[in-house]
A and B are shown apart, each in its own frame.
Chain A
């Protein structure tokens, strides 16, 4: 793992998301509670809808295009839909958001 500081927790609205551009494509960082974040691929496997623009509820996000719902823990589509989005290690250190650089295709800094 190589943790990269990508921003302050308040840069993401509560129950909202922001995008991070990475070598493996756009990653959405979701803030599901005051101090709870998840990272997952931004593209819905259905029609590539931008998940960072979806409604965030509980620990899930609903795709803005056709309402597919994904569990951010596992990346699995919920209900009758079948599909999965990639998830990435992300954590909070105090108020800073740290994303695992290796998982998103950055070479380790060391």
Chain B
């Protein structure tokens, strides 16, 4: 007698399973198929193309009722199963009970809805089935939608709605999109293409509540920083949970999913399960490839054949037109790993392979995923790739091709990319000049003025000469920043400005870095360039700073730190001195008077830093930034206030300058001096900026040095008033911030660009004013006492060890 088989759920997994079963043994079972949805099986993976309008629903149906009926399957669609009795082996549907010999549960999964206030409002939907898709399709142009979740499904939903003209905001809790499948670099490129499609992306964003329009319909999503994102529809795409209710009621073993063994059999030998509702060896499943493997195994088990389900590495692709990404295997965790990175800024391509020993274990690709299947194969088969390691990243087609082009980043620039900031010359003009016969740097300079002023873009102009003339032009070897790039500091600075690169990921990708995230040489430099050029857009990264700037104190050779409060213009008070004395005693510090007219407390333990800062803050003192590439001190003499020779209030001017400039980051440290008369007691003429007061006003000198080199300042300008002296000083510091190479003191930078160029630039009153304004914008972000911020308990915690495992060692 034919055995009776009941299948609950007509989804992709059960559809594929029935295909295998019926193909292999057409009459083996009398099959009844229950489905709660009033339809057969469609390809859920293809809902996104339906949403974006690239496919219709009819095209994605794989098994309709007719398909099942032709194969003798009794369909009970639109009927929910209400109970399973595993003792009597009976399934009860809404329209009556039915006995079985074997039962297959394929109930799939339910979308997870975050229980935010307002989640039950009308217009809040998951992205799961055809009804959800239709709700999104119905929105159309002129409407707004918010998608919570920057994973695969959320982004497909967002792109689909955007393609139909809807304005879309994506809210994602993590630092970059699709963090489970992509690394930061690929996440950056993905974000860029989505932003190009008009989608707004909010990463690291926490949803707080969903706001109602007063009639029970969604009006907006509110984030925990108070931002409101208005919307007509809110889609939650934050994950799925296996649908296990039926299995649980039937008394089957259920953890996160219905537990199955390698044969897809549950804890009851006559009940099998597959798809998104199951848990196998601790894992649950959301992608289609493993479900199809399960279908094959389950069909064989039903036919009494031996087969085992084995979990394999799974590859991910995003179905959004124009966002070509691929991710497979493991690219995040573990030891003994090695990276191979390839970037082609011209084509927006990023590829990263992760090797462990001689095996490829992971691959992330963006922009060009043609070789994805090949890499996936190498991962799955654990092939030995030792032989092809050198050329592996170029894919299977590569045999003896050309090496990566060091000029690729410059060659990739568009014609309207500004190369020379001083004279406003674009790449196209330079190319035109070269094509018109300018065959060397001098000729290009004469013709276009590019690199003819401060000269920092010389390297870029030479690379354009090389790219345009090919072998006819030999590029003089410019010093690249480090092994991560062929570009020089000057090239990178200029390209960050002209290409509006506002994040580290943007620099790594668009300028073709060969490493994942730079090294200890380039990263601090790039971090400075980004924060100096884009103070409002870029967020300073402490992990790209040397220890002193990260810990806001100077590390000493024994691992302790020195602490130095600011003394404005070298002035202090008895109260401050008493607080310093008390702190020195309390934390066991050695006290040293410095050459910059301040007091240094040496030998403070890292754990004590937040506490000593707190104590000094209480007495009204802030960080002296004695550890930064930034403003250090303004050394003054007592000036006209006390001195019988003093011509001006040098102390007052020094304090005013220090109050204006403190907290700013600069390419290297900056020290100022203000002397009240030409006797120069404040030693102003060997400072980065040194002002000497005279009867008629102020002599401003710049580019002095008193370190490895000793050099007298050169006269920048003489001015009459204190206001002018401050304006010129601030403008000079900002010009230095915007143009100098990281770790060049002002005297080195001025030697490169020429004092004449500096004078000429600052002599223009409008330009001087603009520099001051840009400095003030930067100060609105960076003029904060770092000590006060870090003395707070929640931040101070980070100065202590993460854990102490020595405590119970004596037990």
Contact = CB atoms under 8 A, between A and B. Distances in A.
A23 B332 CA distance: 29
27 contacts: A6-B803, A14-B175, A15-B543, A18-B798, A20-B801, A21-B801, A21-B803, A21-B806, A34-B175, A34-B179, A35-B332, A36-B334, A38-B335, A53-B551, A53-B555, A54-B547, A55-B545, A58-B516, A62-B519, A62-B520, A64-B547, A64-B555, A69-B519, A92-B333, A99-B803, A104-B805, A106-B805
A93 to B, nearest CB: 10
A36 B361 CA distance: 15
Nearest to A106: B805
B213 interface: no
A93 B337 CA distance: 19
Interface string B542-586: 111111001100010101000000000000000000000000000
Interface in A22-75: 22-23, 26, 29, 33-38, 47-48, 50, 53-60, 62, 64-65, 67, 69, 72-74
B183 interface: yes
Interface in B522-537: 523-524
A76 to B, nearest CB: 12
A57 B335 contact: no
Interface residues of A, number: 51
Interface string B782-811: 000000000000000010011111100100
A30 B179 CA distance: 19
A13 B801 contact: no
Interface string B212-225: 00000000000000
Given A21-B801, A62-B520, A36 B333 contact: yes
B804 A21 contact: yes
Nearest to B542: A13
A106 B809 CA distance: 7
Interface string B261-286: 00000000000000000000000000
A4 B339 contact: no
A109 to B, nearest CB: 10
Given A56-B543, A73-B336, A29 B175 contact: no
B333 A16 contact: no
Given A58-B516, A64-B546, A73 B335 contact: yes
A11 interface: yes
A92 B518 CA distance: 25
B106 to A, nearest CB: 28
Given A33-B183, A35-B333, A58 B519 contact: yes
Contacts of A50: 547, 555, 559
B335 A87 contact: yes
A19 B637 CA distance: 45
A89 B334 CA distance: 10
A101 B542 CA distance: 30
Contact of A18 (B337, B338, B801): B801
B517 interface: yes
B347 to A, nearest CB: 24
Interface in B737-795: none
B687 to A, nearest CB: 28
A32 B516 CA distance: 10
A106 B174 CA distance: 35
Contacts of A18: 798, 801-802
Return the 5 tightest CB-CB contacts between A and B, nearest first: A62-B520, A18-B802, A64-B547, A15-B543, A53-B547
A57 B520 contact: yes
Interface string B328-348: 000011111111000000000
B78 to A, nearest CB: 40
Nearest to A29: B802
Residue from B332, B339, B545, B547 whose CB has the most chain A CB atoms within 10 Å: B547
Contacts of B74: none
A98 to B, nearest CB: 11
A100 to B, nearest CB: 11
Contact of B520 (A6, A19, A55, A89): A55
A85 interface: no
A28 to B, nearest CB: 10
Nearest to B519: A57
Contact of B339 (A11, A16, A35, A58): A58
A84 interface: no
B516 to A, nearest CB: 5
Given A57-B515, A64-B555, A19 B335 contact: no
Contacts of B798: 11, 13, 18
B594 to A, nearest CB: 22
A52 B542 CA distance: 14
A83 interface: no
Contacts of B803: 4, 6-7, 20-21, 99
Nearest to B807: A21
A55 B544 contact: yes
B402 to A, nearest CB: 26
Nearest to A67: B520
Nearest to A22: B805
A73 B543 CA distance: 20
Contacts of B524: 55
Residue from B179, B517, B542 whose CB has the most chain A CB atoms within 10 Å: B517
Contacts of B516: 57-58
A18 to B, nearest CB: 4
Contacts of A11: 798, 802
A59 B335 CA distance: 9
Contacts of B555: 50, 53, 64-65
B517 A15 contact: yes
A99 B803 CA distance: 11
Interface string B300-340: 00000000000000000000000000000000111111110
